[in-house]
Structure 1
Amino acid sequence: MPAAPAKKTSDKGLSAAFVRTVKVPGKYHDGGGLGLYLRVTESGARSWVQRITIRGRRSEIGLGSPPVVTLAEARERALENSRVARSGGDPLQMKRATHAVPTFEEAARKVHALHAPSWRNNKHAAQFISTLETYAFPRVGRLKVGEVTTGDVLAILTPIWFEKPETARRVKQRIGTVLKWAIAQGWRQDNPAESISQALPKHDRSKSHRKALPHQEVAACLAKVRASEAWIATKLALEFLVLTAARSGEVRGARWEEIEFSGGAGDPGASLVAAWVLPAGRMKMKKAHRVPLSRRAMEVLRDAEALKDGSGLIFPSLSGKPLSDMTLSKLVKQLGFDADVHGFRTSFRTWAQERTSFPREVAEAALAHKVGDAVEQAYARSDLFEKRRLMMEAWANYLQLGEGKVLEFWGQR
């Protein structure tokens, strides 16, 4: 059956009241030369349609439905389409391109999936999307990724900028990652997460540093750790962490196959020369790192042999999984020391600076930090292992025997 012709209402076109009340099925022409009409179906559904010539071909474009799209808005859209068509453009193609642009939430989940192979662990992967679900999606999740503005990002971050500074920083970074992907796709030209930096107040970095014990108090802390009733793996892991100046995750995930002894792999009693070799995948800087083991560190490993449970972990929890970072932190706090586990790296670094003559680059290498610019790093091929071995032995002696004995050790080296 041929479509019914559009019904003309008046020379002035449609009225808002007519659009709101019309129920008789048909097509109602608006007039004005834009080809706009209101379609009313048998079910009573209404929609805006524009008949338009695009590059010599007659076409129809849907413009939405009342009351979401008002008569005035439908006329504006029809007028813009006519302007585009007259200039040789294709408003239909533009509409399809607009619909192809994902929402911010869709884009974020796409980026999350694309980055999946690069996540260091499942926890980091989950945090990326969960923080956006909590803080960003309620505000911009349904917006097209190209429509997110600086004002939107500011509204997301402002409530948590001082209350949860680290979370806010990560949310800002993750929003920026999504918008960078959108730029690469051609869906936007700018990144509000980057341009907003000047609009946000500065954080007081002096209050955000990890709490660290003065190096003079670390030995007393370790003595209390050894005397505590904590699980043996927790005590050994914490002491090993201090002795090696390593990060918590590196120690908690330490495996027996990472230990190398000159007298035979996996044998803590084989030799006084040993190393803990961490693969690049377990390091923050994604570069393999050798840690020289002091005599006391090897004693800790000998004690840890009793914990072998088939998991391969040196310091397994009771369930055979890696210890949690909270477990180590909780023990330090329970023993009365106001310090973060990560802060023991600071204690070590301060000791090296104040109590030894080891060069700065040796101490930084012990912490697996990069030193110098790209050119200097390119020429610095040595990992300073032998110098670091002397340093870590001196650190272990300082912790066990006290400063006076350490000075005696220095005279004998």
Structure 2
Amino acid sequence: MGRQVKRLSALGLKSLGEGVHPDGGGLYFQRKGAGSSWLYRFQIDGRERWMGLGRFPKISLQKARKLAVEARQLSEDGVDPIEQRRAEKIAARLQRAGTISFRDAADRYIKQHAPTWKNKAHRAQWKSTIETYANPVLGDLPVSEIRITHVLAVLEPLWHTRPETAGRLRGRIEKILSWAAVRHGLPRSDNPAAWKGNLDAALPPLSRVRKVKHQPALDYAEIPAFIGELREKGGVTPLALEMTVLCATRTIETIGARWPEIDLQSKVWTVPASRMKSGRLHRVPLTSRALQVLKALPREDENDHVFIGGKAGSHLSNMAMLSLLKSMRPGVTVHGMRASFKTWARQETNFAREVSEACLAHVISDATEAAYVRDDLFQKRRKLMTAWAKYCEGVK
């Protein structure tokens, strides 16, 4: 006589007491406390094993019998259904890992870890550096396809010019990719921890690079002539570079500018904290020439970036202004223009040091002094930046 199967009924399940009740063919209904579930019993290589098929009533009797048949077919073919299911889950995780982009992984990592970062500036800088430097290269790539060559393409342009930023950026990229590898089950070969030695070999030690502390600056006496040459050139990049000089801003602050930040009527540009090195909102007074620059810029539908890039919907590349500057004044950096402004303000004006420092959005390092500073000296800064704009145009 063959073994009896389908001993249980859908209506009878509710009346069963605690314990394991056979349905036949290796399928069992288990009631334990307030919970119930399905089990499949089988043997593989002479060893008895029990496989969970899900909880009741989410898994009905009919569904449980179907799952048991599928598992029995595997076990009769010598395949362990438990190991098969585990392999399928791993494959699904790998598939998800292959489709999540670096941009999505970065957003999730920051959202998950930001609550543990007490420093607001640290939180703002994390997001800012990833958006500005990493996403243009890595953003749309699935994390499983990112290789060391991609990471080097992000780091190499910054390694000598902005070593501290490059070092922090490298660490942040590695943390994001390591998080994605663990969360989505990437093979160890795709985990950036396995690249560390190769990255170290490809990039010179930062301890040596950091010996160069100051960004090469243009002598402020040459600024009017430089601005004159700049205005003879056409395109977005020369306008962005002139705006950067006029406003004494950093590259990241300029290229990331969006039209909603610009108030043409009040003549104010409000840079959000997320794009400021200090992690604090910064108001920039707009001079007459700065307004002319803004009005001269081309616009693109569905792109609210002030300085649009070559790719639809993007902003100007972070290397565009530096490349232009190198062709005009080799050896000078965009960041060095802030030093030109600072030196001019110190030597050619009577404005207090704190005013020019506020124009540069420098954070007061002295805690006692900082405690008494309650405003951003905006009106005084407007006067200083107006004087600077006139100087840049050669007006004395």
TM-score when scaled to structure 1?
A: 0.49
Aligned residues: 283
RMSD: 5.5
Q: How far apart are residue 135 of structure 1 and its match? A: 8.7
Code of the residue aligned with 1:316 in structure 2: it is I
Q: Tell whether the 8 Å contact from 1:233 to 1:304 is kept in structure 2 after alignment.
A: no
In structure 2, relative to structure 1, the CA distance for the partners of 1:338 and 1:381 (3 Å cut) is same
Q: SS at the partner of 1:203?
A: helix
1:187 corresponds to: none
Give the alignment partner of residue 203 of structure 1, picking from 203, 208, 215: 208
1:284 aligns with 2:284: no
Aligned residue in 1 for 2:228: 223
- Quote the residue 2:308 is aligned against: 316
**Paired residues of 1:366 and 1:388 also in contact (CA < 8 A):** yes
CA distance in 2, matches of 1:389, 1:164: 35
For residues 222 and 134 of structure 2, the distance between their equivalents in structure 1, rounded to whole angstroms, comes to: 33
Counterpart Cα distance in 1 of 2:104 and 2:239:
38
Q: Which has the larger radius of gyration?
A: 1
Aligned residue identity for 2:243: F
How far apart are the structure 2 equivalents of 1:208 and 1:360?
Answer: 22
Q: Which amino acid aligns with 1:400?
A: E
Question: Are the equivalent residues in 1 in contact too, given 2:289–2:389 (CA < 8 A)?
Answer: no
Contact 1:305 1:314 in 2 (8 A): no
Shift of 1:318: 6.1
Aligned equivalents of 2:102, 2:369: Cα separation in 1: 35
Per-residue CA shift, 1:199-252, capped at 9, x if unaligned?
x973253425332211111221111111x3x33332222211101001123222
- The within-5 A match list for 1:15-54 is none
Does residue 341 of structure 2 align to residue 348 of structure 1?
yes
CA separation of 1:254 and 1:210: change in aligned 2, threshold 3 A: same
| Secondary structure, counterpart of 2:380 in structure 1 | helix
1:214 matched to 2:213? The reply is no
Q: Aligned in 2, Cα 1:110/1:220: closer, same or farther, shift over 3 Å?
A: closer
Q: CA deviation at 1:388?
A: 0.9
CA distance in 1, matches of 2:348, 2:103: 46
For structure 2, the residue ranges without an aligned partner over 5 or more in a row are 1-96, 111-126, 150-154, 181-192, 194-203
Match of 1:253 in 2: 256
Q: Distance in 1 between matches of 2:235 and 2:355?
A: 32
The one of 124, 145, 157 equivalent to 2:134 is 124
Code of the residue aligned with 1:305 in structure 2: it is K
Deviations 1:80-138 (A, max 9, x none): xxxxxxxxxxxxxxxxxxxxxxxxxx9xx9999675254332743577899x998989x
Deviation at 1:338, TM superposition (A): 2.9
Code of the aligned partner of 1:124:
A
Deviations 1:11-67 (A, max 9, x none): xxxxxxxxxxxxxxxxxxxxxxxxxxxxxxxxxxxxxxxxxxxxxxxxxxxxxxxxx
CA, structure 1 residues 170+127, in 2 after alignment: closer, same or farther (shift >3 Å)? farther
Show the counterpart of 1:96. none
Distance 1:381 1:173 in 2: 34
The residue that corresponds to 1:171 in the other structure is 170
For residues 332-367 of structure 1, what are the alpha-carbon distances to aligned partners after superposition, in whole Å with 9 as ceiling and x for unaligned? 222244311222112112222233332222222111
Gaps of 5+ in 1: 1-105, 138-159, 182-191, 193-199, 266-273, 406-413
Contact kept, 8 Å, 1:255 with 1:314, in 2: the verdict is: yes
Q: Deviations over 1:301-348 (max 9, x none)?
A: 235425453544433346665222332222222224431122211211
Describe the shift of the 1:240–1:123 C-alpha distance in structure 2 as closer, same or farther (beyond 3 A).
Answer: closer
Kindly provide the amino acid, as one letter, of the partner of residue 257 in structure 1: P
What is the distance in 2 between the residues matched to 1:111 and 1:325?
19
**What TM-score, normalized by structure 2, do the two folds share?**
0.51
The structure-2 alpha-carbon separation of the partners of 1:353 and 1:339, relative to structure 1 and needing over 3 Å to count, comes to same
